[in-house]
Amino acid sequence: MTPPRVRFAPSPTGYLHVGGARTALFNWLFARHAGGTMVLRIEDTDRERSTESHTKVILDGLAWLGIDWDEGPLFQGEYGPRHKADAERLLAEGKAYRCFCTRAELDAQRTAAEASGTAFRYDRRCLRLTSGEIQRRIQAGDPFTIRFLLEDAEIAWDDAVHGRITFQGRDLDDFVILRSDGSAIYNLAVVSDDIAMRISHVIRGDDHISNTPKQIALYRALGHDLPVFAHVPMILGTDGKKLSKRHGATAVGDYQDKGILPAAMRNFLALLGWSPGGDREILPEAEMIELFTLDGIQKKAAVFDTTKLEWMNGQYLSALPSSELLDPVLRQLKQMSVDVGGVDVRPVIEAVKARSRTIIDVAEQVAVRLDPSRAPLDAKGEGLIKKMGPAFSANLRLTLEALDAVPAGGWTPESLLAVLKGVAESRGLKLGDALQPIRVALTGSTVSEPVNELLAVVGRERSLAVLGQVAHRWGGAGATT
RNA sequence: GGCGCUAUCGUCUAGGGGACUAGGACGGGGCCCUCUCAAGGCCCAAACACGGGUUCGAAUCCCGUUAGCGCUACCA
């Protein structure tokens, strides 16, 4: 069997949406699995809405997700002459005809059809034009489109995900393939390009199912074999409607900004509408490629569940070594305008990543622990202290005294734990009661890594300084509340 | 309206005639672990849309109903 050729063909009229990203991913997975070729084709024929910056965003988004391609980016706009030639060939062969109907006339027919409750179908009035009349109108400079002459026959195909899908020719009409300005309409452009690029498998969104019979007719009229069609389900918002801006983040870039790891995003997207079978959830790239097949694709639309994405991101975060998290975390810190000086943040990332779901979470916790310009406690932290009552300052003073006596060389998680346990024991305190004030003072939160590790990561000097400040400022206040 | 697609826990899904008292994961609840939280472990609640067939037997096959979604442009 010859290796398959697939394509991802976005139009640069907006950002790379998660739906498009997933379509790209499925194409890529399929190509890589089968040792085939992935073509990237930018469908920029809608000049009004297409922009170069959108193209760049799409390319960046794919790169971020780790989706690469073997040919392209090819720009559909450059193939106008071939599209036109194809249309003219169909015209010459009597498989298409000129239509002089104006937009206004067509609209009128459409509204009339709607009013009478029947489906609009072009009535082929221009097909009945005599050749003399056609010549006269061409000479007169009347604008015309080219319409495909659709045979009244059944059109069916075996979709790789849906099985057999059948349309009746009588439900379709003679659709326009070439605009009056000589540019191709989508259906022609796609077929012309897919033929020229020898695409063997068309993997695209469900919403293209109704275009497919028209495209099949075009393939046949142009004298070419059909590719395999695989129509993948849509991605929906939590309300079951097609995913759109009002659902919040829908662009791949939004998730990058939210601190999602590309590997997690890719894994999550792959599982939206595809399953390797069984209970597998976390799939490394190589395994995904190995396991990917078209018949693992779901027929049903899937709801995009951000919570599960974040869970999955957390899984990747915990599993990844801190060295690999370093760059994205530093980038995030920079964006937060946090300067930690020359300090190596990797140990902090290591200490903190298990409790994080996003890179932003990690960066924030790094900042809390290392940012020298950060005030010891915010309002939330003060509130926590108040809630803890007089015990807070009393216990903090006890542990601080002990910590102060720890030499720099002994400032390790192990010996810190021993010291702290010693204090608690000798004072008859529960370990938690002894440690929680330190945690709150250092992080302004009741949640963190184990306190001994926290102290180690923050460092002796900074720990003692912050603890001292807090003890001083809250020494009396805690007791009075 | 017409045409098409779809239908398993709230969500992502496993399942492709008997292995189903329907499995896993997210989320929710509980317990264990524990200096807090997370992770981890254990447990609980939670679904085959409905109605007909076919069959000894149906979540699985067929038909219908209902619902949702998509398309219905000189957009892609």
Cα–Cα dist A1/A4, whole Å: 9
Cα–Cα dist A191/A199, whole Å: 10
Residue A252: pLDDT band (50, 70, 90) is very high
**A89-108: pLDDT as tens digits:** 999 999 999 999 999 889 88
Cα–Cα dist A297/A466, whole Å: 55
Give A150 or A339, the one with higher predicted confidence: A150
Mean pLDDT of A175-203: 96
Rounded (5°) CA angle A382-A387-A388:
100
Distance between the alpha carbon (CA) of A414 and the C1' atom of B14, Å = 46
pTM (two decimals): 0.92
- Report whether A263 contacts A316 (CB < 8 A): yes
pLDDT of residue A446: 87
pLDDT of residue A49: 82
3-state secondary structure of A456: helix
Mean pLDDT of A460-477: 80
Mean per-residue pLDDT over chain A, rounded: 90
In order, the DSSP letters of A353-411 are GGG-SSHHHHHHHHHHHH-TTS-S--HHHHHHHHHHTHHHHHHHHHHHHHHHTS-GGG-
Mean pLDDT of A82-94: 96
pLDDT of residue A116: 78
Q: What is the ipTM of this complex?
A: 0.93
Listed ranges A241-245, A262-266, A393-397; the one with the highest mean pLDDT: A262-266
Q: What is the DSSP letter of A173?
A: -
- Report whether A78 contacts A42 (CB < 8 A): no
Give the nucleotide at minimum CA-to-C1' distance from A181.
B74
Cα–Cα dist A382/A364, whole Å: 19
Residue A476: pLDDT band (50, 70, 90) is low
pLDDT at A475 over 80: no
pLDDT of residue A404: 87
Give the residue nearest to nucleotide B1 (CA to C1'): A117
Tell if A219 CB is < 7 Å from nucleic strand B.
no
| Secondary structure E strands in A101-258 | 145-148, 154-159, 163-168, 176-178, 201-205, 228-232, 235-236
Give the nucleotide at minimum CA-to-C1' distance from A271.
B12
Active-site residue, from A241, A245, A380, A387 = A245
Mean pLDDT of A270-288: 91
Which bases in strand B are touched by protein, i.e. have an atom under 7 Å from a CB? Answer: 1-8, 10-16, 23-27, 35-39, 68-76
**A13-48: pLDDT as tens digits:** 888 999 999 999 999 999 999 999 999 999 988 877
Residue A481: pLDDT band (50, 70, 90) is very low
**A309-365: pLDDT as tens digits:** 999 999 999 989 989 999 999 999 999 988 887 888 999 999 999 899 999 999 999
Give the nucleotide at minimum CA-to-C1' distance from A166.
B4
Phi then psi dihedrals of residue A270, to 5 deg: -60, -35
| Residue A258 annotated among the catalytic residues of the structure | no
pLDDT of residue A286: 94
CA pseudo-torsion sign A136, A138, A142, A144:
positive
pLDDT at A81 over 60: yes
Tell if A43 CB is < 7 Å from nucleic strand B.
yes
**A403-437: pLDDT as tens digits:** 888 888 889 899 899 888 888 888 888 888 889 98
- Per-residue CB contacts under 7 A with strand B, chain A residues 61-120: 76, 101-103, 106, 110, 117-120
Give A473 or A316, the one with higher predicted confidence: A316
Tell if A301 CB is < 7 Å from nucleic strand B.
yes
Give A225 or A243, the one with higher predicted confidence: A225
Give the nucleotide at minimum CA-to-C1' distance from A178.
B74
